[in-house]
Amino acid sequence: MDPLYVAVAGSAVVVAERDGTHDPATGRALTGSWLWDASVVLASHLATSPSARLDIRGATVLELGAGTGLPGIAAVACLGAARCVLTDVRPLLPGLRANAEANGLTAEQADVRELRWGEQLEPEAQVDVVLMSDVFYDPEEMPAMAATLRGLWRGDGGDGGTVGWAATEARDIVQDCLVVLREEGFEVTEVDRVTRPLMRDPAQTAVFFVYRLQRRQLEQGVDFTL
């Protein structure tokens, strides 16, 4: 497949998709083999939002369910992040590594790791910003995702702690996912809503939401979600 070139903050990020990446257990193609429109929306929002630019400059950024890794790679290659940790299920890791290298990122700048939702990042890393693109599609997966997020999040919603940025195509199920994430201790604020043509079918448009996430501020130091 021909690589895709995505413009972010005046630079081109090159992303190769991998048609042949399958789940060895089920034999099904893995959804993270392809670049999803929401990741283009997220990279574009990170490039244009002053508060996202501020969060990302000099930061260690972790992308959850990174797939082909566009937002995490763009954060370092185009937006001044110090490094990214690109995470997903194991069969997608070689593609993530190749995409990071194709954009000139060294192994120090792009740490590619397996991270299944429900598990913890090992070894731990200090994470300033978490990026998530098109991962809010199954409410039953959200408690496991939230457990992973709580494990790597610093601070409780005050200044200086970890923040999250997420984008997703507007589907009914997204709101159900957000209800669970909020119950699990996260503040999720819609910060943008964009309508844009789909990459693979430009005659069609879709609506996308962008969110900023924080941990809910603790009351009297007690967090009942832990």
Ligand X SMILES: C[S@@+](CC[C@H](N)C(=O)[O-])C[C@H]1O[C@@H](n2cnc3c(N)ncnc32)[C@H](O)[C@@H]1O
Taking contact as CB under 6 A, which single stretch among the options 5-13, 27-35, 54-62, 218-226 is the one that binds ligand X?
27-35
Instruction: Give 20 or 58: the residue with its C-beta nearer to ligand X.
Output: 20
Q: Kindly state whether residue 170 participates in binding ligand X, applying the rule CB under 6 A.
A: no
**Closest to ligand X by CB, 70 or 163:** 70
The three-point CA angle 31-34-37 to 5° equals 100
Q: How far is the CB of 129 from ligand X (least distance, A)?
A: 15
Q: Does 165 bind ligand X (CB under 6 A)?
A: no
From 50-58, 134-142, 186-194, 197-205, span contacting ligand X (CB under 6 A): 134-142
Residue 190 · residue 174 · CB < 8 Å: no
| CB 219, min distance to ligand X, A | 30
Give per-residue burial for 140-149: e unless 16+ CB within 10 Å, then b: ebbeebbbbb
CB of 124 to ligand X, least distance (A): 17
Distance (Å, whole) CA 198 – CA 85:
27
Quick one: which of 46, 67, 95, 165 contacts ligand X (CB under 6 A)?
67
Stretches 97-105, 130-138, 152-160, 203-211: which one binds ligand X (CB under 6 A)? 130-138
Task: Return the H-helix or E-strand segment holding 175.
Answer: helix 172-183
- Residue from 38, 43, 85, 174 binding ligand X (CB under 6 A): 38
CA dihedral for 146, 150, 154, 160, sign (positive or negative): positive
Output the smallest distance, CB 135 to ligand X, in A: 5
196 binds ligand X (CB under 6 A): no
Residue 125 phi, psi dihedral angles, 5° rounding = -135, 150
22 is a contact residue toward ligand X (CB under 6 A): no
CA distance linking residue 129 with residue 132, whole number of Å: 10
Phi–psi pair at 182, nearest 5 degrees? -65, -45
Size of site (CB under 6 A) for ligand X: 20
Compute the distance between CA of residue 218 and CA of residue 143 in angstroms, rounded to an integer: 19
**What is the smallest separation between the CB atom of 145 and ligand X, expressed in angstroms?**
7
Q: Strands (DSSP E) along 89-200, which ranges?
A: 110-114, 129-133, 163-169, 186-198
* Residues making contact with ligand X (CB under 6 A): 30-32, 35-36, 38-39, 65-68, 88-89, 92, 116-117, 133-135, 141
